[in-house]
Structure 1
């Protein structure tokens, strides 16, 4: 029996038998199409039989079921009147151009002003923003052969300076991001496509080959559209000189007032916003700096601020703060992962004007046995239980959500004795100081991460275990606003990896891991040439991973494609270049009266215009 789109059985392969069979699921899809069953009810039904919400949403998308308008029921009947909205982003934003936003904090801040054609809601639904509708095969937006997607743009949208938003801006954004001289963080999403203007409100994205996951260019965090009339003279080599990098003119719900990099963003309600009755709040203040604990306290205990982003705080501390009754902690399922990168290049020797050059080899971490031993010295379960609690789950896999893309082969183990045995067999001997060495090289490392109590405690747990195996760890902690900065002149940013190993969280920007896994391909290696904006921070590459990734990009069979992406994940995890620790939820804090719309598949501010006070 033939069906349009991928077979439903694709989504049933985890967890054994399900109470619903394929025909029953198809009947439910038909009920959603004819309106007798809501999309939300369908997704909840799928969740009850073990199919994750993002996967259920993808089933509907493949079967041409129309997308919902939003996940948050919006109650205000007019725009404005809500007074000030005050947000804390303790990892302070340093720029407001989304295409240079290497750190999530800068992506979150940029999305206040700039918007994509569509974004992702918390259930993995594709929601139109600057697009009039989500492309499907039924409405002619998706080509049957998977080689193109046609976007119809929303009409009547204006930039904050009053100029009309048109297809010219979309085409320009493609040209801007695809230009290697621009050195954009988003280049990988735009380099291998062609974008044609059909008319003032229609564009066509053409792929070089059949593309199963077409919702990458112009979608979500990487998809924010720039105004041609503000950035047209600043493409390519001049891109860093654009005034719009710090003084944005966008289409979003709030208009720019003031920006103090590393400190403060002030904005005001956009009276011409293209969504009816939005935004509710009159002004917006985004305050940066401080730390996660003080941010949590300012919302949950004192109510001085309305929302605190990324509460990387020990769970027991959050529970005590919640007891005050003024605010609540919000946990949102996401594809984020807390992990360690082991540097296989030499961070202490400069080659061609940069350290950790991909041409070099690390004196000791280039030994697979050392990396394998280190992986056994990470007590993931203790880190989860005693530090992160509700915010995370221990994992050995870099990709954890949606579940059909998670490897069933990757397992974790904490075993100091086994680590010692591996190092003994590899010829690493203990010296008089209890540090292993071979050929005059010692297992001594600088381990860096951002300043944050859970991360420093995680470092301490790992350091203690490493000492038992003859590995000496020097802990380095970098201010978060510096560590996650997009500043190319700063030596302590995570993308430079000027150390032996580092730890941080990376978020999966879509309910599909293809773009997330470009951190594992050779053409995305972070370097001086691309201003350290390449996604592959590890600098490690494997021909088989490259081959599997390229094959996945054009594989239309969903089962085969998932297997290819799982292979990429497994190659890097089994080489112990990426050492996953925890599958992370998004954790935010809000005062009780604030109604938010947080997605684990997009940035926190993806639907900021819909926030209101109850």
Structure 2
């Protein structure tokens, strides 16, 4: 049975904003202990599918026969942490806000959204422009939290913003140092046995990087690294296993991987032949080794999308020109460069986060292949801080950018590849693809939807605004045996970030 009490300690990056709708790095890690969602994924199951969506602040919901409206019945008796009652006004406000281009970064997840109608204090009807396959999936993701209408306009970088309906109260915020939470005594939720949640007395989330977190975990000053943050490189896994052999490990599969975005507005990367040449010499196994140090920590012969919803291996190999020996691929790539007038290469600026492993490691490996086989004079900029990184992106000061293609639902590909998408770092535009990206969310038939997604990937692997890397490293999640009921699904920000049903068994703590 669960045990009450204790303070959970973990650490990683504290976000610069607590507004999860802004999708800042690690934002939901800090926000989810305080806020609830309308619906969420059941983390007892692993698949990111509508069938695994359960209610959170919504007690139940019903979709109209034509699929154009969803009526949500809300839980009664729920209070905001400042004592005011939660009502349908908060849901109307939150849905309008998270779908508003001027107030939210995740607005593109909700292309089908039209408006929310208040039926009464505890019921709302969401009206859609068309029946949507992805609306509920997007609503169940950790960024889609419900926020208080009466606190609209509160500074999202301040502790005053952190007033939710969730299991924990934020009691102390020291920027760049820590967040401290304590148990919300008025939390509305109980576990399946009728026990009041949460079990923990409190939590402390410290600001720190990966190497510091590893050292503090080994020294037992942390209970685990953090809810979404695992270990995806061989050297860190071995370091932790050697330093703390008593650690338990769970494997969190990833359905999102890293890609190399190519700035198609820069010459000569605007030339299809040059992009094709780059793709032909790319060896996914080598990039995985650069990323993780172990080729088993990735997927070879894969395109931009995870195989669970992407193209089959045989088609990826053919589209990328990888269905021939590597020497022949290099020869063909060199011929393409010559045809484009760049047989002696050109200067190129590659950019990535991290320093020597992860995305940076994959970038460094690919850069060396470009130098060796295509005579490209590559300047690699890795380990950039967020300020410098965003400055370069804003000023268009990059030729390639290695980053995660964060699409737990392929409908969200429009964020990265639709004309004007807010993360369209390739500066790519294809009117035919724009039309397909706009339509795919309306395909409710699973087979039709899957074929549409595969056709989208065919276009992307033909035009190559981005290159696949095979870097879909599973996140290995380490924690000590005294921490109970941790479990993960592929989503980075699932309900496990709320930590409402995790407990500590002090009898198992390693001294």
Is TM > 0.5 for Structure 1 vs Structure 2?
Answer: yes
Give, in whole Å, the separation in 2 of the partners of 1:495 and 1:153: 41
* 1:264 equivalent in structure 2: 178
* 1:491 equivalent in structure 2: 391
1:289 to 205, 208, 213: 208
Give, in whole Å, the separation in 1 of the partners of 2:159 and 2:66: 38
1:597 to 466, 487, 494: 487
1:128 to 41, 45, 55: 55
Specify the SS of the correspondent of 1:456: helix
Residues 334 and 507 of structure 1 are in contact (CA less than 8 Å); yes or no, is this contact kept in structure 2? no
2:108 to 177, 184, 188: 188
Give, in whole Å, the separation in 2 of the partners of 1:217 and 1:508: 10
Q: Identify if the C-alpha distance between structure 1 residues 197 and 119 changes in structure 2 by more than 3 Å, giving closer, same or farther.
A: same
Give, in whole Å, the separation in 1 of the partners of 2:391 and 2:83: 40
Q: How far apart are 1:405 and its partner, in Å?
A: 4.4
Matched, 1:562 2:489: no
Matched, 1:611 2:508: no
Q: How far apart are 1:197 and its partner, in Å?
A: 1.3
Matches within 5 A, 1:209-608: 209-216=130-137, 218-231=139-152, 234=153, 241=155, 247-276=161-190, 277-290=196-209, 292-299=210-217, 301-309=218-226, 310-323=229-242, 324-344=244-264, 361-385=265-289, 387-388=291-292, 389=294, 390-400=296-306, 403-408=308-313, 409-411=315-317, 413=322, 415-430=329-344, 436=345, 442-451=346-355, 453-468=357-372, 469-479=374-384, 482=387, 490-492=390-392, 498-509=397-408, 512-523=409-420, 525=421, 534-581=422-469, 582-595=471-484, 596-603=486-493, 605-608=496-499
**TM-score, with structure 1 as normaliser:** 0.72
Give, in whole Å, the separation in 1 of the partners of 2:136 and 2:85: 24
Consecutive unaligned residues in structure 2, runs of 5 or more: 191-195, 506-511
Once the two structures are superposed, residues 208-258 of structure 1 have per-residue CA deviations (whole angstroms, 9 ceiling, x without a partner) of: 112233304532223211100001xx2xxxx8x456676411112111122
Once the two structures are superposed, residues 246-285 of structure 1 have per-residue CA deviations (whole angstroms, 9 ceiling, x without a partner) of: 6411112111122334442221111111222222221211
Residues 266 and 286 of structure 1 are in contact (CA less than 8 Å); yes or no, is this contact kept in structure 2? yes
Q: How far apart are 1:561 and its partner, in Å?
A: 1.5
* 1:7 equivalent in structure 2: none
2:127 to 171, 195, 206: 206
Specify the SS of the correspondent of 1:546: helix
Q: Identify if the C-alpha distance between structure 1 residues 482 and 298 changes in structure 2 by more than 3 Å, giving closer, same or farther.
A: farther
* 1:351 equivalent in structure 2: none
Residues 522 and 541 of structure 1 are in contact (CA less than 8 Å); yes or no, is this contact kept in structure 2? yes
Give, in whole Å, the separation in 2 of the partners of 1:483 and 1:594: 38
Q: Identify if the C-alpha distance between structure 1 residues 174 and 423 changes in structure 2 by more than 3 Å, giving closer, same or farther.
A: same
Residues 599 and 606 of structure 1 are in contact (CA less than 8 Å); yes or no, is this contact kept in structure 2? no
Q: Identify if the C-alpha distance between structure 1 residues 383 and 161 changes in structure 2 by more than 3 Å, giving closer, same or farther.
A: same
Bigger relative CO (Cα 8 Å, ≥ 6 apart):
2
Q: Identify if the C-alpha distance between structure 1 residues 163 and 586 changes in structure 2 by more than 3 Å, giving closer, same or farther.
A: farther
Consecutive unaligned residues in structure 1, runs of 5 or more: 1-74, 136-140, 345-360, 431-435, 437-441, 485-489, 526-533
Residues 450 and 479 of structure 1 are in contact (CA less than 8 Å); yes or no, is this contact kept in structure 2? yes
Task: Note the aligned Cα RMSD (angstroms).
Answer: 2.6
Residues 95 and 246 of structure 1 are in contact (CA less than 8 Å); yes or no, is this contact kept in structure 2? no
Residues 334 and 343 of structure 2 are in contact (CA less than 8 Å); yes or no, is this contact kept in structure 1? no
Give, in whole Å, the separation in 1 of the partners of 2:108 and 2:358: 32
Once the two structures are superposed, residues 365-407 of structure 1 have per-residue CA deviations (whole angstroms, 9 ceiling, x without a partner) of: 1111111112223321123346523543235322215x24445
Specify the SS of the correspondent of 1:220: coil
Give, in whole Å, the separation in 2 of the partners of 1:503 and 1:520: 15
Specify the SS of the correspondent of 2:102: helix
* 1:357 equivalent in structure 2: none
| Of 570-579 and 464-473, the range deviating more from structure 2 | 570-579
Specify the SS of the correspondent of 1:127: strand
**TM-score, with structure 2 as normaliser:** 0.85
Number of aligned positions between the proteins: 475
Q: How far apart are 1:481 and its partner, in Å?
A: 5.3
